Amino acid sequence: MGKFRSKLKGQSKGKRWPKGQSASSNPVTRKYRDEAKSRFFQVETGPSKLTSASLMKHDALQLYKSGDKDVEMPDMESESSYSGASGSYQSMQSFASDWSECSNMSFNKFLRTFQANSALHKEMLAILAAITDVIKMNGGTESSTEYYCSLLTTLDTLYNAEEKKEEQVTAVLALLNMGIKTVPEAVLKKTFSDVTMKMLHVLQDYSSADNNAIIKALLGILATVLRAQELALWNFESTKQVFAALLNPFCIHSKPKWRKAAQHAVAAIVKSPCFEASPNHNPAADKCADFCQEILANCTGGDVNAIKSRQTTILHTLGLLKETIQTFSTSNIKKCCETILRLMTLNYPIVTSSGLQVLHSLFAAQNSVVSSDLNGKLIAALYEYQPSNTDIQPTLAWLLVMQEAHVHLADVDLPVSVSLLPAFFNNVVQMWLCGKTEVISGATHCLEVLLKDAIRPACESEQAAQQHRSKLEQCFNTISGCLSYQYNAAWSQVLHVIGVMCEVGGANCSDLLEETLCSLAELRDSYKFSFNSEVEYAMGAAIRSMGPEKVLAVVPLRRENGELNMERSWLLPVLKENINGANLSFFRDGILPLANFCQQRAAQLAQVNNGIGAHSSELLYMQLWNLLPCFCNQPGDIQSEFKSVAKLLGESWRFCFNTSAGRVEGFGAIWRELAGFLR
């Protein structure tokens, strides 16, 4: 039988290490070593790479070449300078500045981001340069009003020419959309009729074209002009017709760029400053609400197939509602919410998601816009649309809407909100059992927000806490009940929420949290408990809000027979980290006796040659004394108690000198921590 011999052929080309030279410290080739040295701020010793050819290449890549005037008087401190005589700015020099001497800040971004490969930018630059020259020739100051009027005149000239060029019209409108934002409102009010007629005429001509730049510029111009008008002008039908031209068809247009620009324009108009003075009278918002209700009514009429075919229009309308529903009147909000709930019954997932987004936008508004009665009814109705806890995205969306609804209701009517919270808390804690990480985290965040924004106002004072005591107790017991083994998979989340609960209700509802603290201590004392840091975080929150005196009364450091509970020694570092604003009298009456007990215990164990036990008691003694600087952080009884504590500290200091050197060092650390307080 023949033998098969395989030959592994090595690299035949390229450099190879000579035999015995693979570990040479001074190799001939040093390319990568030299490059590495340059990164450690060492001067390169090789030939310079800066040549005349590279300098010429660098100069060719520069966007701007300085003129003689800049060479004589360089100004490198700022990117722009202001001319007091003309009231205009000299913008940062760029490539486009070689072709246009425009100093108006409205076009600064265009000049800085000019793209030489864009035909539209070239046309815009040519028109801007021509208008700038004309303004300067006539002695103008390059104000925004001058550019505004010049661009309108240019638009008339180009639009009425025999050969109308779309590129030039687009360039003028784009420049006008940039410059109109800085035009004084008085000028926009004066030219409202003329400008809107021109823009609507152009909009009608190009509504069937594919020029996105023209449509977006026209929508921006009309939005700016309408925002500048007074409230009285909105009573005229002509103003509403101009606004209606933006709503239909552009807000529900099939082209996303047009639709997005129109919806942003409408949202900006309905939030105009002129409507803020009288929020109950907003003609633009009323017009928008009527339009949305009409479109949705037309889309939901007919059979199921017809509704399904109009699903896209429904989504576009809901997108408009999401941006504007906060500005609607109470009656229109109620009608729109009823329509949204009807749409959600169609069981189209995308429509349901969009409807929830609209409701979230409504409840998340900065101002309270929904009445208490309607808010409560919406919360009750939304329970019927709760998805399965295992359906992640719909559940998170529903949870977020319900969270904002309860927070909004707390801002409007706190007693009603607190009365509805126990039922919602019972619902949310069930999500900790679903096994989905995203849903569990969402439930935790929801409870945390509700505790801080809805429960906290009900616990701010003793009177408020007493008024809502029964409902608060139900909410706290619901969360504390999740410490049962049934929820062990989500204990890290549960303990975090309990920490927030102790922080919120510890000051005025401490008696409602006593059982919870006992349960936390029992879990922490249990064998091989896996969430020690989470329990310590919750206990720390309780110490910060309730104070160490109340916490140690519920979770004592001593056993019933008077001996120190060594299993509770984990509380000492937690106390040290979280005590603030406590009474010095508690240190004297509560902590110091424990320290003396540990001192005596250490002496007794040392006499019977129990070195380990004596050392442990000595450590506990010093840990208890280390709590003194924490009690000196903003104490409530400093004037009456500091003398007695100072006396005890002096006696202990004298005693420690007669014992071990370690105790002297420990008390020295305590004195160093107290130095700032004593000063």
pLDDT at 85: 36
pLDDT of residue 660 exceeding 70 = no
Winning range, highest mean pLDDT, from 16-30, 349-363, 547-561:
349-363
The pLDDT value recorded for residue 62 is 59
What does the CA dihedral 362, 366, 371, 375 come to, rounded to 10 degrees? 50
pLDDT at 65 over 50: no
Distance CA(269)–CA(284), nearest Å, equals 7
The Cβ of residue 667 has, within 10 Å, a number of other Cβ atoms equal to: 19
pLDDT tens per residue, range 500-539? 999 999 989 999 999 999 999 999 998 889 999 999 999 9
Region 319-348 average pLDDT = 95
368 HSE (CA, 13 A, CB side): 14
d(CA 178, CA 106): 6
- Determine the Cα–Cα distance for residues 33 and 570; give it in Å rounded to an integer: 54
Per-residue pLDDT tens digits for 155-198? 999 988 888 899 999 999 999 999 999 999 999 999 999 999 99
Helices (H), 330-436: 330-344, 349-363, 372-382, 392-412, 414-429
Residue 68's pLDDT is what?
40
Residue 438 CA to residue 444 CA, distance in Å, equals: 10
How much is the average pLDDT of 267-282?
89
State residue 669's pLDDT score.
59
Q: How far apart are CA 328 and CA 369, in angstroms?
A: 8
Residue 10 banded pLDDT, cuts 50, 70, 90 = low
- The alpha carbon of residue 6 and the mean position of all alpha carbons in its chain are separated, in whole angstroms, by 65
Query: DSSP string of 487-506?
Result: GGGGHHHHHHHHHHHHHHHT
The whole-number pLDDT of residue 654 equals 62
Element (H, E) at 89: strand 88-90
| pLDDT exceeds 80 at position 29 | no
At residue 625, the pLDDT reads 82
**pLDDT value of residue 21:** 67
Mean pLDDT over 41-69 rounds to 59
User: Average pLDDT for residues 426-451, to the nearest whole number?
Assistant: 96
N- to C-terminal Cα separation, the chain? 98
The enclosing H or E element of 82 equals: strand 81-83
Instruction: Taking residues 441-451, report their average pLDDT.
Output: 97
Name the average pLDDT for the chain: 85
Check whether 440 has a pLDDT greater than 50. yes
Q: What is the pLDDT of residue 82?
A: 40
- Report yes or no: 497 and 451 within 8 Å, Cβ to Cβ: yes
Render pLDDT for 230-267 as a digit per residue (tens, 0 to 9). Answer: 999 999 999 999 999 999 999 999 999 999 999 999 99
- As a whole number of angstroms, the distance between CA 399 and CA 448 comes to 13
Q: Tell me the per-residue pLDDT of 208-229, one tens digit each, with 9 for 90 and over.
A: 989 999 999 999 999 999 999 9
Tell me, what amino acid is at 91?
Answer: S
Percent above pLDDT 70 for the chain:
83
- Give yes or no for a contact between 312 and 265, defined as CB atoms under 8 angstroms apart: no
Q: What is the pLDDT of residue 88?
A: 44
Is the preceding peptide bond at 249 cis, omega within 30 degrees of 0?
yes
Residues 478/479/485/487 CA torsion (nearest 10 deg): 110
Say if CB 676 and CB 655 are below 8 A apart: no
Q: How far apart are CA 403 and CA 324, in angstroms?
A: 21
Of 586 and 47, the one with more pLDDT: 586
